[in-house]
Amino acid sequence: MDSGIGLLPTAAAVRRLRPDADLVLSSDPEGMPWGPRTPEGITERALAVAEAAAAHRPDVLVVACNTASVHALSALRARLEPQLPVVGTVPAIKPAAAGGGPVVIWATPATTGSPYQRGLIQEFAAGVEVTEVPCWGLAEAVQSADEAAIDEAVAAAAALTPDDVRSVVLGCTHYELVAERVRAALQRPERPPLVLHGSAGAVAAQALRRVGAAPRPEAPATGSLTVLLSGHEAALPAAALGYAEGRLLRAVSHAG
């Protein structure tokens, strides 16, 4: 679940690990963006999206959204667990800091500077130089697959990023869909390759662990795909097919 197509990287990671898994993608195009909403408003929307997915009786619910994980994870777990395990998404600050600094965290304005993110920095990146960069409009541009708006938002965030950055944490699941564009905006030819840290792979692996399912990337591609847009079954949005992850899900899935 996510506010929009930011769930694609994690869903595609699950699909690569388990081509036989049935996937339900539940998002909220009628209510996004969630970032400008109050914490209470985000929680209300997240619960509705989660309950739409839960009606399909999944084995695990993946909250593939940093904003919802920050503000609504406790409420989601209180509502759905223990019957339905809930896995949240945490920015990959720990592995980024383990490689040394300087580290930059690209996140939505709502997450940047939040007590939640500051707590993760204090816990996992003590002694490492960390810069928080608010990415105004980037999630919305990715959601609509607006090439010009993506370029503008990436350039604006890049202008706020120190030149000596070594690692970038993609602190919004939408950003993983344009990771290489972020790299291209920040990489300097005279410096070592920039390391980008997303969460999709780790979250997908954790989701399988929560239900005791071993990875089987060699399994036949028999898994189904069900798409819920604000609670209603639909096809993958056209914008999703503008990204490799969306095309993978369509190609390596059967109709739900």
Phi and psi, residue 133, nearest 5°: -120, 120
Write down which residue in 198, 216, 246 finishes a domain.
Answer: 198
> What pLDDT, in 10s, does the model give residues 150-176?
999 999 999 999 998 999 999 999 999
pLDDT computed for residue 255 by the predictor:
62
Contact 80, 61 (CB under 8 A): yes
| Dist. CA 20–CA 222, nearest whole Å | 5
- Cβ neighbourhood burial of 228 (10 Å; 0-12, 13-18, 19+): buried
pLDDT computed for residue 34 by the predictor:
82
pLDDT computed for residue 253 by the predictor:
80
Residues 101 and 185 in one domain: yes
Contacts of 210 (CB under 8 A, 6+ apart): 60, 85, 87
- Cβ neighbourhood burial of 25 (10 Å; 0-12, 13-18, 19+): buried
Write down which residue in 198, 228, 246 finishes a domain.
Answer: 198
| Dist. CA 219–CA 191, nearest whole Å | 41
- The whole-model pTM stands at 0.93
Residues 82 and 98 in one domain: no
Tell me if residue 135 is catalytic: no
Residues 100 and 82 in one domain: no
Residues 182 and 209 in one domain: no
pLDDT band for position 248 (50/70/90)? very high
Residues 149 and 173 in one domain: yes
Contacts of 115 (CB under 8 A, 6+ apart): none
pLDDT computed for residue 77 by the predictor:
98
> What pLDDT, in 10s, does the model give residues 211-240?
999 999 999 999 999 999 999 999 999 999
Residues 13 and 66 in one domain: yes
Tell me if residue 172 is catalytic: yes
| Dist. CA 69–CA 73, nearest whole Å | 5
Range of the domain at 182: 93-198
Contacts of 143 (CB under 8 A, 6+ apart): 4, 5, 6, 32, 33, 174, 239
Q: CA geometry: angle at 157 spanning 175 and 184, to 5°?
A: 65
Residues 103 and 178 in one domain: yes
Residues 224 and 143 in one domain: no
Name the active-site residue from 65, 177, 178, 200. 65
Considering only residues 215 and 251, tell me which one the structure prediction assigns the higher pLDDT. 215
Residues 63 and 143 in one domain: no
Residues 207 and 134 in one domain: no
Domain containing residue 240: CATH number: 3.40.50.1860
Name the active-site residue from 172, 207, 227, 228. 172
> What pLDDT, in 10s, does the model give residues 80-128?
999 999 999 989 999 999 988 899 999 998 888 888 899 999 999 999 9
Total structural domains within the chain: 2
Task: Give the ranges where the chain is alpha helix by DSSP (H).
Answer: 8-17, 39-54, 66-80, 93-98, 115-124, 138-144, 147-159, 179-186, 200-210, 244-251
In this prediction, residues 60-71 reach a mean pLDDT of 93
Residues 85 and 50 in one domain: yes
| Dist. CA 200–CA 207, nearest whole Å | 11
Contact 68, 48 (CB under 8 A): no
Phi and psi, residue 234, nearest 5°: -155, 180
Write down which residue in 156, 179, 198 finishes a domain.
Answer: 198
| Dist. CA 96–CA 107, nearest whole Å | 15
Residues 113 and 191 in one domain: yes
